[in-house]
Structure 1
Amino acid sequence: MNTEAANIIVQGFLKGGFDVYDALLSQSFSYESNASEETNEDAVSSALEAAPIIMKAKIIGGGGAAVLLTLEDASKIVTLTTGDKAEVKDALDDGDMGTLKEIADGAIGGGVANLSELFGEDVETESIEVQIGSGDGSELVAYLGEGVVLTSFSFSADPDFDGKGYFLHSAALEDRVPPSLTGAEEALVSDDEMKDILSGFSPEEEVDRMGGGAMPDNLDVILGIELTATARLGKVEMPIHEILNLGPGAIIEVGHLVDEPVELLINDHLVARGDVVVVDEKFGLRITEIISQKERIESLR
């Protein structure tokens, strides 16, 4: 289980789901989730004994998600759709289950839609089902797929609606969480790879400043990476009051002399200098000074 990814899925799904509950039931729900943990059939069976009402969905592309509610909470949700007061029922009839299915379609759809927004890609359900569980967790575990993660949560709404439930998802969903959300983005070049690359250079064999000479073979691992090149005319620090007074026609001195070369930066690292030229009515930069290839690679750290 990826703890960071699991937490993002839980929070994203619950937020989307309870936003729909708020709209459908004219309530303002608050909720709080507990720590997630990778689970097994016995633990799911225990959860089903406490919360036997299952709202589950298969996710296109693999995996699934499910919400377990107690009979008391499910009946309160059903009665809220037909009246102003949440009431407890001893059992749910076919009409109640039909109402729950409509609510599940919206709530699970809202949860999945929120995950789509977080992930930056379409997350869609293959099917949504509502049923009363038998207390055997093996069927639900098989439905969700490998690596089922269980998270308990509580929720409340005025007046006097305090509930609890369980959210389950499969590990396949965690694989779809972007690394940028979990803080697990890998560096373009690891320290070991950088050491390997730089080992191909020595003071006696330094590459010619104008680009001649052979590169070490293992440099190929980074040659396809795209970096941002910026031509910097100059820079200056300004107090906030001067920035607020800027307008059309204002002139800013950037501390750059007319005959000084312009700096070329790669990913905000200085690698060369040159003169501004015009090529086909567009500005360009003619390189006049460049640091060694070894120093350029080191500047990318």
Structure 2
Amino acid sequence: MSDINESDLFNGDDLNFDDLQLEQFEETPQLDSSMSHRSLSFFKKIPVTVTLEVSSTEISLGELMKAGEGSVIELDKLNGEPLDVKVNGSLMGHAEVVVINEKYGLRLIDVVESPLNTMDG
């Protein structure tokens, strides 16, 4: 049948946690300010994509297939409403469109609360 002896099986009574030093697991490592600054400077160099989203709407595939050159699809946002600013697809805040040196830009109106806003730097 089986070559396993009863003495080979795990026995919970054999565990001894009396000598375990739990204090070593409870302490949070403290970073000095130079290490913290280096860590943040690394993350500040990561490129992200900033998108200004004008508006959107939901239509059926049939309606979309009927659309052609010159067709108008009405969007959800009203004229003059602030536009959504997204960073890598996540809402960062709201802005209005501006023109700078013949290029489009955005002027932030508000920024939603985010842990990134609290970073020093």
Residue 221 (structure 1) shift: 2.9
Please name the residue that 2:109 is paired with.
Answer: 288
Alpha-carbon distance between aligned partners in 1 of 2:61 and 2:55, rounded to the nearest angstrom:
19
Distance 1:296 1:271, change over 3 A: farther
Please name the residue that 2:88 is paired with.
Answer: 267
What is the RMSD of the two structures over their aligned residues, measured on CA atoms?
2.0
Structure in which a larger fraction of residues adopt helix: 1
Residue of structure 1 aligned with 2:43, choices 211, 222, 239: 222
- Give deviations 1:80-113, integer Å, cap 9, x for gaps: xxxxxxxxxxxxxxxxxxxxxxxxxxxxxxxxxx
Aligned ranges for residues 234-273 of structure 1 at < 5 Å? 234-273=55-94
Residue 282 (structure 1) shift: 2.3
Residue 219 (structure 1) shift: 2.0
Alpha-carbon distance between aligned partners in 2 of 1:221 and 1:280, rounded to the nearest angstrom:
31
Give ranges in structure 1 of 5+ residues lacking alignment. 1-215
Aligned residues: 82
Residue 277 (structure 1) shift: 1.4
- The residue type paired with residue 229 of structure 1 is V
Aligned ranges for residues 147-186 of structure 1 at < 5 Å? none
Provide TM-score, normalisation by structure 1: 0.26
Give ranges in structure 2 of 5+ residues lacking alignment. 1-35
Residue 293 (structure 1) shift: 4.6
SS in 1 for 2:42: helix
* More RCO (CA 8 Å, sep 6+): 1
Residue 228 (structure 1) shift: 1.0
Alpha-carbon distance between aligned partners in 2 of 1:221 and 1:295, rounded to the nearest angstrom:
14
Residue 270 (structure 1) shift: 0.4
SS in 2 for 1:260: coil
Determine if contact 1:271/1:296 at 8 Å carries over to the other structure: no
Residue 264 (structure 1) shift: 0.6
- Give deviations 1:103-131, integer Å, cap 9, x for gaps: xxxxxxxxxxxxxxxxxxxxxxxxxxxxx
Distance 1:242 1:279, change over 3 A: same
- Seq. identity, %: 28
SS in 1 for 2:115: helix
